[in-house]
Structures are given as structure tokens and as C-alpha cells.
Chains A and B, each alone.
Chain A
Amino acid sequence: GIQVEQSPPDLILQEGANSTLRCNFSDSVNNLQWFHQNPWGQLINLFYIPSGTKQNGRLSATTVATERYSLLYISSSQTTDSGVYFCAAVLGGNKLVFGAGTILRVKS
């Protein structure tokens, strides 16, 4: 089955810093999504991005499907950005396969 790998596994930022999270996937995908799991455990969908670039406020994401990777950019990080960031991909059907996540801690 499809493999989804995320890097880095952990990241500590000072408030205001920028960061890039990476997601590599092993096969061509028709669906790639990024999620933020906040400290209360809620999974919030950030982007549905099978290809191209999208922006939402301080966050943006780019997926290069032909090279099998996606990037999540966080600019001017805030303490509320802390949590775990997951990417998830679908090879066929609708089953999302999640990566192991990047744990982000933003310090004030």
C-alpha cells in the first residue's frame, strides 16, 4: 500500500519564525490533505491539495504530484500553531493513509 512519510518528526520554533514541513508519498495520488491536530486532539483540515499551491492566511501548501511530495509552509508562527501536523494521501478509492506527523511546538 501507499507509504506516507513526514519530516521533520519534531520541530521547535520561536514565535514569529517560519517553517516548512514535508510529506513524501510512495505512489501517485489523487488526493492529498493536510491536518492540524490541536492539543485537545481535534483534527482540523487545513488543505485539500492534490496538486498545485493554495494559501490560507499564514499557511500555504504546495503539492508536486509528479515528484510525490507536498510541503506545508507556516509563516510568522504563533503559539496557537502548536500541535501535530499530519499529511494524508489517497491512492485509489477514498481511504486516506496518514503519515506519522510532525510535532510542532512554538515558544513565546
Chain B
Amino acid sequence: EPEVTQTPSHQVTQMGQEVILRCVPISNHLYFYWYRQILGQKVEFLVSFYNNEISEKSEIFDDQFSVERPDGSNFTLKIRSTKLEDSAMYFCATHTDHEKLFFGSGTQLSVL
């Protein structure tokens, strides 16, 4: 089965530092998402991306967050100045039209 690939699997950073999380979507998928899951809690939507622009974002996705698809393959999530409360598992997910959502294996972000 095709896979969504995420790197790194773990990221430890100091508060205030910038982090970039990377995702390689499944090749024929058109819709890209970032979700996050704080330890022990439900999975929360952050942002959806289609046709090279943000189509929807949550209240969590404030000015500290940004997404881009710089080279037509990778899909990135940048957090400009990390806070302690940004510590979570971040999942990339992709799908085609009217199809099930495929998740990557996640990046565990720890902000110290």
C-alpha cells in the first residue's frame, strides 16, 4: 500500500526556535493536511492545502504556523517560534477525491 512519509520521526527543540516538519505525500494525491495529537488526547485538525494554497485552517493554526509545497513533492509545516504547548505528535495526511485519508507515521515534537 502506498505510504505518506514524514521526517524526522522525532524532533527536540528549545522554546523559541523554528522547526520544519516534512512530508512526502502519496504521488497522485491532491489534498494535503496537517493534524496534531497532544499526548493522550484526540487528533486535531490544523490546516488543509489544495492546489498550492491553504483551503482551511483551524484556530490553532495562528501566525506562528505556515505550510508550503516548495518543490512539488515535499509538503512542509513550519513553526516559527515554538512554545512548550506545541509539543505533540504532528501527522501529515493526504487523499484523492472522495477517498479515505492516509496518515504518515508522525513527527514527535518536544519543545523544552
Contact of A83 with B by CB under 8 A: no
Closest to A31 in B: B98
Q: How would you classify the secondary structure of chain B's contact residues: helix, strand, loop or mixed?
A: strand
- Interface segment out of the listed B14-22, B64-72, B73-81, B99-107: B99-107
Query: With A43-B43, A94-B48 known to touch, is A48 a contact of B106 (CB < 8 Å)?
Result: no
- Alpha-carbon distance between A48 and B106 when the two chains are bound, in angstroms: 21
CB-contact partner of B102 in A31, A45, A99, under 8 A? A45
Q: Is the pair B106, A86 in contact by a Cβ cutoff of 8 Å?
A: no
Point out the residues of chain B lying under 8 angstroms from A43, CB to CB: 43, 91, 103, 106
Q: Is the pair A45, B103 in contact by a Cβ cutoff of 8 Å?
A: yes
Contact of A88 with B by CB under 8 A: yes
Point out the residues of chain A lying under 8 angstroms from B41, CB to CB: 100
List A residues 69-108 near B (Cβ within 8 Å): 86, 88, 93-101
Interface size class of B (residues with CB under 8 A): 20 to 34
- Alpha-carbon distance between A43 and B89 when the two chains are bound, in angstroms: 11
Q: Is the pair A100, B48 in contact by a Cβ cutoff of 8 Å?
A: no
Point out the residues of chain A lying under 8 angstroms from B35, CB to CB: 96
CB-contact partner of A98 in B42, B48, B100, B108, under 8 A? B42
Point out the residues of chain B lying under 8 angstroms from A24, CB to CB: none
What 0/1 readout, one digit per residue, does chain B (40-71) give for beta carbons within 8 Å of chain A?
01111100101000011010000000000000
What 0/1 readout, one digit per residue, does chain B (85-112) give for beta carbons within 8 Å of chain A?
0000101000100111111011010000
CB-contact partner of B44 in A47, A93, A98, A101, under 8 A? A98
